[in-house]
Amino acid sequence: MPKRSIGLVAHDNKKDDLVEWAEFNKGTLSLHALYATGNTGERIIDKTGLKIALLKGGPYGGDMELGALIANDKLDYLIFFWDPLQTQPHDVDVKALLRIAVLYNVPTACNRATADLIISSPLFHSAEYKLEKERRRG
């Protein structure tokens, strides 16, 4: 299985959900390069012991750091459990991150159901998928 780069981020009301999801998928996630925004990453590390490259907190530029990883073709997947009912003070950054993920065709999960589909997909485990994605980037 090829090593993937996965971004992990969650709004405050969704952090517990993402930590629980990461704990359930710890075995699979441990095989990949993980990046997470500040508090989200710290909570996942505390609960799972996974090795995660910590970025700044979302409101302090962490969302933009994830966006830069995407723009520089260094992130393969984005798992972003965001809260559609809660206004965020850095909402423009959140929208920019989601916009760049769509622009660069990065598979993005905004909830547990979609994250489960991504991580269990045969394409997630396929070397050919990564090669095809790189070929399309040209």
Residue 1 pLDDT level (bands cut at 50, 70, 90): low
Q: At what angle do helices 91-103 and 62-71 cross, to 10 degrees?
A: 10
For the domain spanning 5-137, the CATH number is: 3.40.50.1380
**From 63, 73, 76, 93, the catalytic residue:** 63
What pTM was computed for the model? 0.90
63 labelled catalytic: yes
Tens-place pLDDT, residues 72-106: 999 999 999 987 766 666 667 788 999 999 999 99
Of 91 and 67, the one with more pLDDT: 67
Question: Where do the domains of the chain lie?
Answer: 5-137
d(CA 105, CA 30): 24
Whether the per-residue pLDDT at 135 is higher than 60: the answer is no
Whether the per-residue pLDDT at 128 is higher than 80: the answer is no
